[in-house]
Amino acid sequence: MTRKQDPIKRVELADGRIRYRFVVDLGAKPDGRRDQKTMTFDTQREARAERARIISERATGTLVRPNKKLTVEQVATEFLTAKADAGKKPSTVRSYQDALAPLVDRHGKLPIQALDIRHLEALRRDMLAGRTRRIGTGDLAPRTVNLALGVSTMLLKYAMRRRLVGHNVAELVDRVPADPDAGSDRAAWQTADAVVFLRGVRNDRLHAAWMLSLLGLRRGEVLGLRWLDADLTGERAAERGFPAGTPTLAVVNNRTCVAGKIIEGTPKGRGRRRVPHLPIPRPLVDALKALKATHAAEKLAAGEAYGSCPLCGGAHVVVDELGAPFRPARYSERFEALVKSAGLPRLVLHGSRHCAASILADLGVPDIVAAAWLGQTDVAVTKGYQHVMNDRIAEASRSLGEALTG
């Protein structure tokens, strides 16, 4: 019987060193040709172990083919395209792109299979030190660094599913501990601040919009609201799941700006899809009716000049004097200007959602109900929006004093 030839060959190099070499079949290439690779090791043991690993992974379909050409940047582009094709919102895809920017800027030309933990740990250090900033100076927040590491982990998971890499090195990088006091110096409105603001803007043509924001709607939800979504008479209350005659809003459209382009679509998060209809209080009904009358008067005065763009013509609730919907940045800037002119603590527009969440907590509304109102699915997120009202601190002081003095 002929003895089977050992596939691992003993090779003597010109300088007298002994190496061990084998040729392994990695399977078929995309063009149908066989992909064979010659591998050489210092010891026979290493050669046998590697050959056994390759044969096993080829059999189970987990083999990663060596590829020195496919770069981090190319895989990142494929990853973002795949996310867009899977139906991720343009704003979400853009956030992934921004989070990957430090990695792509520094290691975009590196073969994806050459990316290792040292690259990512150095990137983490430099992000914390602010050395990766494109604009401005100073350290990056832990949340920004962790977001970059998180999306890098997603990228490499995608690469693993495609058998482009064998390991997810981003999972091995320690995340930055969150600062428990982060944002503690950020202005937090009390209920009285919100009342003063709304009273101060009651004659502003966008009074209804400011009320919507302070009721906790996201900017995109306010700007995406259309008149067809607003039932101010309660005629559609039953079909929306509320008692007859209840005025409601359908929060089903979102208007955002991504990379300079206006995008309209469904609102952010699963919370709004679970609770898309909200009953609205009488003051908001009155403000919306007044705004609708204002629109009618402005349209009559402007004539043919009113609503000349495809998304205009009275479709949206928040529009300018010629019926053009507001750009998100302009809406935020106008809110902050009104806050400043009112002499109130500085508050960015998103802070109005935090204010609404805190008022709901102050009123004793259960967290699960507050989360539904705000369009959130995670009650923990809702809790993170809330801050303690000063009146409750004063009550605590009185109660403790009374208890301790009998």
Of residues 202 and 28, more confidently modeled: 202
What average pLDDT does the segment 233-238 reach? 93
Over residues 280-303, mean pLDDT: 93
- For the cut 80, the answer to whether the pLDDT of residue 145 exceeds it is yes
Can you give the pLDDT at residue 388? 72
324 CB-near residues (< 8 Å, 6+ apart): 307, 309, 312
Q: How deeply is 314 buried, as exposed, middle or buried, from its count of CB atoms within 10 A (0-12, 13-18, 19+)?
A: middle
Q: CA–CA separation, 385 vs 249, rounded Å?
A: 23
3-state DSSP assignment of residue 12: strand
Residue 72: what pLDDT?
95
pLDDT for position 311: 44
User: How many angstroms from the chain centroid is the CA of residue 195?
Assistant: 31
Phi, psi of 178 (to 5 degrees): -75, 145
d(CA 390, CA 189): 10
**Cα 82 from Cα 87, distance rounded (Å):** 9
CB half-sphere exposure, 110, CA atoms < 13 A = 13
Q: Above 50 in pLDDT, residue 195?
A: yes
pLDDT on residue 402 = 79
Residue 129 is predicted with a pLDDT of 86
Cα dihedral angle (213, 215, 217, 223), rounded to 10 degrees? Answer: -40
- When mean pLDDT is compared over 101-115, 156-170, 367-381, 389-403, the highest value belongs to 101-115
> Does 30 score more than 70 pLDDT?
no
pLDDT score at 179: 63
What per-residue confidence (pLDDT) applies to 187? 63
> In the predicted model, what is the mean pLDDT of residues 83-105?
92
Whether residue 3 is predicted with pLDDT greater than 80 in this model: the reply is: no
Query: Where do the domains of the chain lie, and which CATH numbers do they carry?
Result: 9-60 (no CATH), 72-172 (1.10.150.130), 191-392 (1.10.443.10)
Where does residue 324 rank: exposed (0-12), middle (13-18), buried (19+ CB within 10 A)? middle
Q: Pick the residue with more confidence: 78 or 54?
A: 78
Rounded to an integer, the average pLDDT of 78-100 is 92
Of residues 136 and 348, more confidently modeled: 348
Cβ 197 vs Cβ 208: under 8 Å: no
What pLDDT score was predicted for residue 124?
93
Res. 307: pLDDT tops 80:
no
CA neighbor of 334 nearest in space, from 262, 342, 306:
342
Contact 108, 77 (CB under 8 A): no
As beta bridge partners, residue 162 has none
Average pLDDT (199-220) is 95
